[in-house]
Amino acid sequence: MSAYRFHREATATLAAPVEVVFALLDDPAHIGAHMGRRSAMMAGALMRTETDTRQGQAVGSVIRMAGRVLGVNLTLEEAVIERVPPRRKVWETLGDPKLLVIGRYRMGFDLTPVANKVDLKVWIDYDLPARGVPRWLRVPLGRVYADWCVRQMVREAAQAFGGERP
């Protein structure tokens, strides 16, 4: 059973070798690219991503994100907690992230080779924030945001390798 209250996921089948897909998704700059582009979901804002010397590609490596959305400073730190090339990677927030519609989370991807393709699953387990938007809006907005995040990650992989998009 998860230590988090909510779960969302997205999947796709990609036309590429599992090692090549893992290499792309293992890069925080790529898998988090949707956070660094202005979008309606981010209210036109963007988040900057910084990594430690291990570049988010080793267990224990730390990734930091910061930005300003709707006049509110947002920050988070996450650490890679599991990395099994070329099949799986998991990272989790450290401390209490300063976000609007989701709180602490554990996120990752799983790759399953099938013939000459790869089944990709990107998932997030998360809690709601203790503060931020009004309490009655946190559940629906958290779900919408978490769905957007996992779908964006899967869409970007599908665009890179071709495949069935969610």
Using 50, 70 and 90 to split pLDDT, how confident is the model at 1? low
Q: Is the pLDDT of residue 40 over 70?
A: no
Using 50, 70 and 90 to split pLDDT, how confident is the model at 63? very high
pLDDT confidence of residue 103:
93
Phi, psi of 40 (to 5 degrees): -60, -40
Report the alpha-carbon distance of residue 56 to residue 79 in Å, rounded: 8
Report the alpha-carbon distance of residue 165 to residue 157 in Å, rounded: 9
Q: Is the pLDDT of residue 48 over 60?
A: yes
Q: What is the pLDDT of residues 81-134, one digit of tens each?
A: 999 999 999 999 999 999 888 999 999 999 999 988 999 999 999 999 887 777
Find out whether 88 and 111 touch, Cβ atoms under 8 Å: yes
**3-class DSSP state for residue 61?**
coil
- Average pLDDT for 30-37: 58
- Average pLDDT for 48-76: 90
pLDDT confidence of residue 161:
86
